[in-house]
Structure 1
Amino acid sequence: MNKSELVEHIANQADISKAAATRALDAITGAVRTTLKKGGTVSLVGFGSFSVTKRPARTGRNPRTGAAIKIKSAKVPKFRPGKALKDALN
């Protein structure tokens, strides 16, 4: 499912226009992005939690030359599914 299909599904389920569904989806993703940027977590009970973890610096290899390269540390988003979501899939 891509963004346009998700917007269409939201619009049908909530009985709102596609424009309103797009604004709602953009507001949600923006709120998650802003919270994670500040180092916080977003918990949606029954769905899951979004958080930020730090990936340490490491040494990698250039696949073309085989030379060792340094990969910087980075903050990466993490999603942990909730119990209700796990149960719905099994």
Structure 2
Amino acid sequence: MTRSSLVARLSARFPHLMARDTELAVRLILDAIGDALAEGSRVEVRGFGSFALSYRPPRVGRNPKSGDQVVVPAKHVPHFKAGKELRERVDQLGTLPDGSLGIPPAVNV
């Protein structure tokens, strides 16, 4: 789902709100999450999940084109961990009454 499709879905669900207001609300929420992570804080949305920062130490990598060694500096990256309610909803998404996933096995060509 893209940001614009989220705005469209929320606008359809709440017709008393103008699309412009819905777009502003979505942008403010996402900006607030980004700002909190940029400050080093953790963001938790109960029933959905939590956003936090993970530290990746410096390492030596390889340039895939030339094979030369490249030093990759340390960095912090955002990490999302799904909450229990979200995991359960996603887990129930594709299950059939017999408990199978209902997804055909992948075929390697």
Same fold (TM over 0.5): yes
**Hey, what does 2:10 align to over in structure 1?**
10
- Structure 1: which 4+ aligned runs deviate by more than 4 Å? none
One-letter amino acid of the counterpart of residue 12, structure 1: A
Q: Distance in 1 between matches of 2:18 and 2:79?
A: 31
**Hey, what does 2:85 align to over in structure 1?**
84
* 1:10 positional shift: 1.2
One-letter amino acid of the counterpart of residue 2, structure 2: N
Tell me which protein shows more strand as a share of its residues: 1
List per-residue Cα deviations over 1:19-78 (Å, max 9, x = no partner): 111100110011001111111011000000001111111110011110000001111000
User: What is the TM-score when the length of structure 2 is the normalising length?
Assistant: 0.79
Q: Distance in 1 between matches of 2:21 and 2:52?
A: 27
Q: Which moved more, 1:11-20 or 1:75-84?
A: 11-20
Tell me which protein shows more helix as a share of its residues: 1
Aligned length: 90
Unaligned runs of 5+ in 2: 92-109
Answer 1 or 2: higher relative contact order, Cα 8 Å, separation at least 6.
1
Q: Distance in 1 between matches of 2:10 and 2:21?
A: 9
User: What's the % identity of the aligned pairs?
Assistant: 32
Give the secondary-structure state (helix, strand or coil) at the position aligned to 1:34: helix
User: What is the TM-score when the length of structure 1 is the normalising length?
Assistant: 0.95
* 1:17 positional shift: 1.6
Unaligned runs of 5+ in 1: none
Larger of the two Rg values belongs to structure: 2
One-letter amino acid of the counterpart of residue 19, structure 2: K
One-letter amino acid of the counterpart of residue 4, structure 1: S
